[in-house]
Structure formats: C-alpha cells, structure tokens
Amino acid sequence: MKAPDGYRLGAAYAQDTTGTYYRAVQLKLNRVVTIKALRDEYVGNARARALFLAERDLVRRLEHPQLLLTLDTGDIEGQPYLVTEWTREAHLGTALCEAAGALPEIRAVAIALGVARALYYLEKGQLIYKNVRPKNLLLPRPASPKLLTFRYVRRAAEAESFRGANVQAGAYGAPELARNDLGPITIKANVYALGGLLYRMLAGVPPADSLGDARTAHANNEIIPLKTRRPFLRDRAYDVVARLMCHDPQRRVDPAAAIALLEAWQNDPLLTRPLQRGRRRRRRR
C-alpha cells in the first residue's frame, strides 16, 4: 500500500478476510494510528471491495467513547482504506493475564459499565456486536474500555447468521447461539457475553473453559455459579452477573437495564470499602 497524504506508513501487523492493518503516524497531530486497507491482492476483486466498503461505511458513522473511533477514510490508487485510533493498546485479555486472577471489583464494574453503554448505543442504531471477548476490548485507560469496531459491528438484521457459527468466543457465547428453541438472536446475546466478561473479571476464570464444552455448558445452563468460584463477594455481584447471564433471553436484561444495574453498583458506597471475611471477636478477660 502507498501511504495516504498526511500519514507516514509503518509496517503491516495483521490481516483479516479483506483488510491489512498498518501502523502509521498522522503527521499533522504526530499521533500513532491504525490504517486498515483493502488487501493488495483484492484490489481488483469486485466482491472483496464491496465487502470492505460496506464494512467501512458501517463503522465510519459510529461515534461513542467506548467504541474505537474512525478518524478518516479514503481511496488511494483504487485501494480503499480507513484510519482509526491505534488498535494495539493493551486489551482486557492482557490485563487479566497480568492480574493472574480476578480484577479489583471497582475496576471490573467500571469496565463492564463502559461495555454496557456501548451496547446500548449499538442497539439504538439497530446494530449488534459479533464477538464480545477480552481481546476485542481495548483498555487505553484502566477503566475506560473501547470495543474494536471493524469486523465486529454488524447490522441487527444479520444476527441470525451468528447461530451455530464460530463467531462468538465459546467461553462467552449466549445459549441462543446454539439453540433454536430459545428464540431469535438479539442484542441480548451481547448482554450475556458482557455478563461472562464480568464473571471472568470477578472470578479470575471464564464461566466456561474449553471451546466445545463451553458451548455445551452455556447452551444447557450448566455454568458454575459465580458464588461457588468466589464465595466472599457481595450479594450484588452475584445478582448482577446472574441477571446479565440469564439463560432465558426473554427474561435477560437489555443494555439499558444492564446500565442501570451497573451504575447502581458503581455508586454503592460499599464498593470502595475492602471486603472483610469476618472480624475476630476480642476475648474478654
């Protein structure tokens, strides 16, 4: 790819179905950005170009602090591209590995709340997220997440194509993705995955582990309760995770209700107090 005007192009660092990702510097602001361009070998492929442009047109209009921002778009010598915020920030997966266990409750709630707000924004735009998982959640600041957008934001009308497909990480996949009898796939599948992320942040392990077994566990409502994993959390933690991960999509909360639950939790004065497993009584002499 040739560098667009105003950018210094660095090395390519990743590819997906239609695009190549480059590190670049936006010269006017001297900031590092990501440029995603149609892969060189597909420049003359009408179908690949149409897919790339459809994806670009979908994400370029998104504007939310918890979604990766598209900064610029263009076409250079027949090769379309888009420019976004830098995508190689630390992500939630990295933070979880570094923590080697659970995150502090106050941080987990802040991250979950940011994701819930992004999902509410997508729902209002009749959109859905394709794969809510730790690696798709950037953490440019400790408690201010940003969901990746290109490849993952889709129109809600496409949601039925997710059923049975390998589009949602098994550890966080809503049961309706594997079962037709649970009704249509909606943004509530994303809420379930958000509950799974919150479970992972609080428990230090995902709600289900290996891919095949995980899908079966979610589909059959065989998830080990959070209270079994972490018996000394407050009751609010167990209640919120249970409501986000309700097996029945009809009874599961939507993004707006998830925001309300998480905001109430974040505003709880007890959240900033350390948990105590029990006080020792002083012996009377």
C-alpha to C-alpha distance for 184 and 179, rounded to whole angstroms: 10
Q: Is the pLDDT of residue 168 over 90?
A: no
Residue 181, token pair as written in the block: 């009898």
Q: For residue range 182-228, what is the model confidence (pLDDT) as tens digits?
A: 999 999 999 999 999 999 999 999 998 655 588 888 888 889 999 99
Q: Is the pLDDT of residue 284 over 80?
A: no
Which superfamily does 92-272 belong to? Transferase(Phosphotransferase) domain 1 (1.10.510.10)
- As to burial, measured by CB atoms within 10 angstroms (0-12 exposed, 13-18 middle, 19+ buried), residue 241 is buried
Q: For residue range 50-109, what is the model confidence (pLDDT) as tens digits?
A: 999 999 999 999 999 999 999 999 999 999 999 999 988 789 988 998 888 899 999 999
Q: Could you please report the per-residue DSSP string of 142-191?
A: TTEEEE--TTTEEEGGGGGGGTTSTTS-GGG--GGGT-GGG----THHHH
As a whole-number percent, the residues of the chain with pLDDT over 70 amount to: 92
Could you tell me which residues come within 8 angstroms of residue 276 by beta carbon, excluding any fewer than 6 positions away?
none
Report the pLDDT value the prediction gives residue 219, as an integer from 0 to 100. Answer: 87
Domain ranges of the chain: 7-85, 92-272
Residue 114, token pair as written in the block: 């940011």
Mean pLDDT of the chain: 90
By residue count, the chain amounts to 285
Beta-carbon count within 10 A of 101 CB: 8
Choose among 109, 120, 119, 116: nearest CA to 265. Answer: 109
pLDDT band at 129 (very low <50, low <70, confident <90, very high): very high
Report the pLDDT value the prediction gives residue 138, as an integer from 0 to 100. Answer: 94
- The arithmetic mean of pLDDT across residues 25-48, rounded, is 95
Q: Is the pLDDT of residue 41 over 90?
A: yes
So what CATH class is 7-85? alpha beta
